[in-house]
Amino acid sequence: MLDPVLLRKDLSRVVVALKRRGVEFDEERFNILEARRKAVQVETETLQAQRNALAKQIGKLKSQGQDASEVMAESQAIPGKLKELEGQLNDIKQELDAWLMSIPNLPHDAVPDGKDSDDNVEVRRWLPGKEYVKDDMPAAPGFEVADHVALGEKLGLEFDTAAKLSGSRFVFMRGQMARLHRALSQFMLDLHTAEHGYTECYTPYIVNSSTLFGTGQLPKFKEDMFWVTKGGDDEPQVDDQGNPVVKEELYLISTSEITLTSTVADEIVPAAHLPIKLTAHTPCFRSEAGSGGRDTRGMIRQHQFDKVEMVQVVHPEKSYDALEEMVGHAEKVLKLLGVPYRVVLLCAGDMGFGASKTYDLEVWIPSQDTWREISSVSNCEAFQARRMQARFRNEQGKTEYAHTLNGSGLAVGRALVAVLENYQQADGSIVVPEVLQPYMGGIKLLQP
């Protein structure tokens, strides 16, 4: 959520920054709300001062043995008026907070202008054996490449089975494919915990709505979520005392960023405990309501997919160093897998709702002759922390909002796609990347 203090002090800056994201901020609405807030606040302070003055007057009259009943009557009317004003102030705050919940984060000054992915800026690219190159492209294999669907169907990647069980945009894996998928996630977790300093976590896959409000998925992205309720629609719910219970909407997580980041919700963390670095491997569930029918073939865009997530909660002064560090952690996965990739800085119009600055890592997909996103690493600054009240106590003993960062390290299904397509052989077999062979029991080649 945006900082209300910044809105009051530098509204023009907020308006300009949001315009870079294609969002028109309603200045008139904010100014009306702010004028109402100030008026109520002034009236409240005036009544509080009047109450204090009357209390002194009553004390003085009583000490002089004079009748204070009239002044006391005047004083006794004030608490009711203050309570009424408190309610008005709370209503204004709730209206402002509900509105701000729907407004995205401000882009960092270093984020380029632009409307969509066409305006993103390539930072660097990496090819196996060439390190960082500027414009070089991955070498063609010398035979007609197959896509991951054609390759995988001969190795245990079963889309028809998944469609029978669940419908479109799901996959069933068997044998070699299931093992390779597991190997990828285990390799990523081992790398992030052993070398990059993250603590491995196991998290719930179902969360309540307040958790999603805190990380920014709600209210904006409700239609992209899968949600469930406990019990049938007609089945009454009661507590231990037999009182009726209002059913709560529960949601399947779209990323473990939600659960990992929310571990610090409503907490005040000692500064000495920062940075907090967490990682988890979970399934992720997205209805892809806004995807417009893209990538319906194969595993690029699924309703259920696995991801190894990285989250950091850091001191505000160190969040942009942490962002670069996390990009490096995701890059290390791709380097060790030996697949070509590039790093792209997202423009203001293409960033996620809660991000101030985002890098995407895009992996080379030979069958599509293009780069596809496999990781997105973002600094959300205090945007999520303010929504979820995640704070730390600084050296002066005062509380501040922490900065939160998240990134894929990596999307397991897309990593599987990248390995299948970049390591394919002319006969349809797949060379197992050296770093994955220990997780595959020493198997070096997958054969149809």
- Residue ranges at the known binding site: 255-257, 286-288, 309, 373-376, 406, 408
Q: To 10 degrees, the CA torsion angle through 60, 65, 69, 75?
A: 10
Which residues are annotated as part of the binding site for L-serine? 255-257, 286, 309, 406, 408
CB atoms within 10 A of CB 444: 11
- SS3 for 260-312, per residue? HHHHHCCCEEEHHHCCEEEEEEEEEECCCCCCCCCCCCCCCCCCEEEEEEEEE
**Residue ranges of the alpha helices (H) in 166-219?**
176-194, 209-215
Longest pairwise C-alpha distance within the chain:
108
Structure tokens of 93? 């705050």
- Binding-site residues for ATP, in ranges, read 286-288, 373-376
Reference 311, options 169, 408, 207; nearest CA is 408
Instruction: Return d(Cα 12, Cα 30) in angstroms, integer.
Output: 12
Residue position matching structure tokens 């196991």: 202
436: helix, strand or coil = helix
Other beta carbons within 10 angstroms of residue 189's beta carbon come to 17
Six token digits for residue 274: 């920062």
Query: What is the 8-class DSSP label of residue 210?
Result: H
CB of 367 closer than 8 Å to CB of 147: yes
Cα→Cα distances 431→33, 142, 417, Å: 63, 16, 13
Amino acid 340 reads: P
Identify the DSSP state of 322.
H
Strands across the sheet with 227-228, in order?
206-208, 250-252, 227-228
